[in-house]
Structure 1
Amino acid sequence: MKVHPSQVVAGCMIIQDVMGKTNRPIIPKNTVVHPIHMRVLNQFKVGVVEVANRLSDGSPFIPEESIEYNEVEEHKKQESQESLSTLSFQEQYLEAVQAYKKWFEDWRGGTPVDISAVRKVMVPLLERAAQSNRDVFLLHHFSSKDDYYYHHSVAVGLLSGYIASKMNYSYGDWIQIGLAGVLSDSGMAKVEARIINKTGALREEEFNQIRKHPTYSYRYVEKTPLLTQNAKLAILQHHERLDGSGYPLGLQQGKIHSYSQIIAVSDMYHAMTSERAYRKKHSPFRVLEEIQKEQFGRFDHTVVQAFIKEMTNYSQGTKVKLSNNQKAAIVFVESSHPTRPMVQLEDQSIYALRDHHDLYIEEVLD
């Protein structure tokens, strides 16, 4: 366990080298603490010491509360929050994408998933995204086809956490759902790079590799105490479909966890609205219509309706570009046709898009 030096007592077992400013250990690991070591820790102003949970005599080590430690941790937390507050949402998002890219390369090399590191980057971003549907709706703009998988994982986590928060899940639950979304494709690190980067159609044996990635993702996280069992199931099941057509287990309705359905819808939405190496991106509103069609038999109706409601939650006057390149403003959104609102063109004419199936919103402009 990690403790402040003021919490260390004689008999503690140091289990990690205590490093000095010269990057050399001032107290080596496996040292039994004596009063002299406690003085050294104080004189060298060491911030944190990692010790065993039992003393050298075998009795449990239960550290007393440390005011100094709390102050140090609070100061670090405040500094981190102040640093993040100076970044725009896009900048913070792009930093998270770069962090994920580094994690992904580490996983490829055999490094285990560090949930604490993922939480440190993603929890503040999830909290920020939950406060602004506008930022969440624009995530596909930030994606690039070269770094698609890194963008996709971060975006799916943010979309999943956002939708779960709007479905009235508790804070702890929607944070877990968001983290599960981020890590749902971590198992792609075990899939051959040539398959991930292939621009043409996959052969059957190549797609079979892709089908294994939810299982690989689950194996990465199955033993961590920092994710709930529900979140772990969501990672394993995020490609399952209610009609049994999904993978890796072909589960059907009744055996698929609700968390996984939130990630599944978020995954499909971001994948189809982003530019990929093998195809161009689609209009968000057309994708939402496709998801509406897919909900019957494949996706949970409650999740789909919540997703569409939040992603089409635009105020009157919102500027949009239509599929014929004309600009318009949203006048009214009907709850029965949320992806096809009534719009006013620049010439002041009004169109009810539900009556013009060849015309749709290509992009939101503001």
Structure 2
Amino acid sequence: MELSEGIIVMASISIVELKPGVKLSKEVYTPLGGMLFRKGTVLLPRELDILRAFMVQYVEVDTGEVESKRTAKPAVDKSSLSEQSLSDEAGANKYSTFHEEYDKLISFVKSAYQSALAAELPIYELRNQLEATIGQIKDYNPLTFAPRSMNKYDYIYHNSVLCALSSYLLAKWSGLQQKDWMQAAFAGLFHDIGNIKIDSAILYKPTSLSAAEIEEIRKHTAYGYQILKNVRAVNEGVRLAALQHHEKVDGSGYPLRLDGSKIHIYAKIVGITDIFHAMTLNRVYQKAQSPYLVLEQIHTEAFGKLDPTLVRIFIQKATAIHHGTMVRLSNGQVGEIVFTDSNHPTRPLVSVGGEIVNLTQQRQLHIEEVLSSN
């Protein structure tokens, strides 16, 4: 008599008795309630190390399975390997497409910024290329994306494009209506356009600025608002983002020292993405910093300076999809992110040489550089 369905036997097994290869029959949670592994996860040595790191004592696993001929696994079709190779190649081509659209947008922005003083912004051409780039945004993540080539004197253009992409995502993640997503992207794209009226000797000065030079730099917010004032394809929120993106919710920002209730939502969004990309890109006077350390600094800024809800959303969403990402730690070791606790999203578990490094516990270490993503 053939069985029409598999019979699965489940049991609660002590961690010390677990062998690699068993399958979870029930979700496993951390002591603080975060999901560690989903039902159906096959426990390999790396997963067993994670369970021990979280001091999980028992898990529910499948201890036996009887399968019918109908449900038995088929032999591996060797032709599927070539199909998988084609799939991988297609994925690589998609990522290349995003880079190509990104590079085109950089060229458009560079040309538009340089001509904005003498002529109107080519807003419709910019919008078309921005939409083409956002059409590939599934291949973009703020933490892992890096321009293929970047002259440090082109920082302003890369910062603008990256802020556009990240602001689009943050507007979407935060639950704003869809009509706001593209306008938030415009806010990111044009937030620093006022810098075209700043003397380049000040803008690219490699040493500390004088008090007078700082005051001149701060004028870029008002300059930006004036440049955008007559651009019809953007709404007032985009103009206000240029004016207000350096305001702080406690009223300590500039140029008008507005409190949080008077800062436009686009400006709050761009205020976060601008800080992130300004600190993670190479500049004339500053080397790029670790994106994870920058997120920790932004988290600190959320207490009184930045909108705390938007900061929490940005950090959790940006770090949530990075299991399998290869990173270099601050001690030089290279490892793979294997688990991210939602309570400590900037300090995941990293597998280094078969051992699990818990960055929440080892505070002296941090992720210095993202090397590649899965």
| TM-score, scaled to structure 2 | 0.71
Task: Determine if contact 1:136/1:158 at 8 Å carries over to the other structure.
Answer: no
1:102 & 1:149 partners in 2: Cα distance?
12
1:353 & 1:86 partners in 2: Cα distance?
30
1:15-39 Cα offsets, whole Å, 9 max, x none, are: xxxxxxxxxxxxxxxxxxxxxxxxx
Does the alignment pair 1:218 with 2:232? no
* Aligned AA (1:144): N
Does the alignment pair 1:361 with 2:367? yes
How far the C-alpha of 1:147 sits from its partner, in A, is 1.1
How far the C-alpha of 1:314 sits from its partner, in A, is 2.6
Does the alignment pair 1:112 with 2:120? yes
* Aligned AA (2:301): E
* Aligned AA (1:120): N
Residue aligning to 1:299: 306
* Aligned AA (1:117): E
Residue aligning to 2:263: 256
Task: Determine if contact 2:101/2:129 at 8 Å carries over to the other structure.
Answer: no
Q: Structure 1 residues 132, 223: CA separation in 2 closer, same or farther (over 3 Å shift)?
A: same
* Aligned AA (2:288): K
Please state whether the residue corresponding to 2:273 is helix, strand or coil. Answer: helix
Residue aligning to 1:350: 356
Q: Identify the match of residue 124 of structure 1 among 132, 137, 162.
A: 132
* Aligned AA (2:101): Q
2:147 & 2:334 partners in 1: Cα distance?
20
Task: Determine if contact 2:142/2:318 at 8 Å carries over to the other structure.
Answer: no
1:43-122 pair list within 5 angstroms: 88-108=97-117, 110-122=118-130
How far the C-alpha of 1:158 sits from its partner, in A, is 1.0
Residue aligning to 1:287: 294
Q: Structure 1 residues 225, 257: CA separation in 2 closer, same or farther (over 3 Å shift)?
A: same
* Aligned AA (1:360): H
How far the C-alpha of 1:119 sits from its partner, in A, is 0.8
Q: Percent of aligned positions with the same letter in both sequences? A: 36
Residue aligning to 1:153: 160
1:33-71 Cα offsets, whole Å, 9 max, x none, are: xxxxxxxxxxxxxxxxxxxxxxxxxxxxxxxxxxxxxxx
Would you say how many aligned residue pairs link Structure 1 and Structure 2? 280
How far the C-alpha of 1:330 sits from its partner, in A, is 1.5
How far the C-alpha of 1:334 sits from its partner, in A, is 0.7
Does the alignment pair 1:185 with 2:201? no
Task: Determine if contact 1:241/1:252 at 8 Å carries over to the other structure.
Answer: yes
How far the C-alpha of 1:85 sits from its partner, in A, is 8.0
1:172-251 pair list within 5 angstroms: 172-251=179-258
1:136 & 1:124 partners in 2: Cα distance?
21
Task: Determine if contact 2:242/2:267 at 8 Å carries over to the other structure.
Answer: yes
Task: Determine if contact 1:239/1:248 at 8 Å carries over to the other structure.
Answer: yes
Task: Determine if contact 2:164/2:187 at 8 Å carries over to the other structure.
Answer: yes
How far the C-alpha of 1:141 sits from its partner, in A, is 6.6
1:106-161 Cα offsets, whole Å, 9 max, x none, are: 124x22323222212212212322x2343774146754312111111111111111
1:111 & 1:305 partners in 2: Cα distance?
40
Farther off after superposition, 161-170 or 258-267: 161-170
2:297 & 2:234 partners in 1: Cα distance?
32
Q: Structure 1 residues 264, 141: CA separation in 2 closer, same or farther (over 3 Å shift)?
A: farther
List runs of 5+ in structure 1 lacking aligned partners. Answer: 1-83
Q: Structure 1 residues 266, 332: CA separation in 2 closer, same or farther (over 3 Å shift)?
A: same
2:220 & 2:139 partners in 1: Cα distance?
31
Task: Determine if contact 1:322/1:361 at 8 Å carries over to the other structure.
Answer: yes
Please state whether the residue corresponding to 2:160 is helix, strand or coil. Answer: helix
Please state whether the residue corresponding to 1:88 is helix, strand or coil. Answer: helix
Q: Identify the match of residue 338 of structure 1 among 337, 345, 348.
A: 345
Q: Structure 1 residues 246, 290: CA separation in 2 closer, same or farther (over 3 Å shift)?
A: same
Q: Structure 1 residues 239, 189: CA separation in 2 closer, same or farther (over 3 Å shift)?
A: same
1:85 & 1:103 partners in 2: Cα distance?
27
Farther off after superposition, 90-99 or 310-319: 310-319
Residue aligning to 1:25: none
| TM-score, scaled to structure 1 | 0.72
Q: Structure 1 residues 142, 323: CA separation in 2 closer, same or farther (over 3 Å shift)?
A: farther
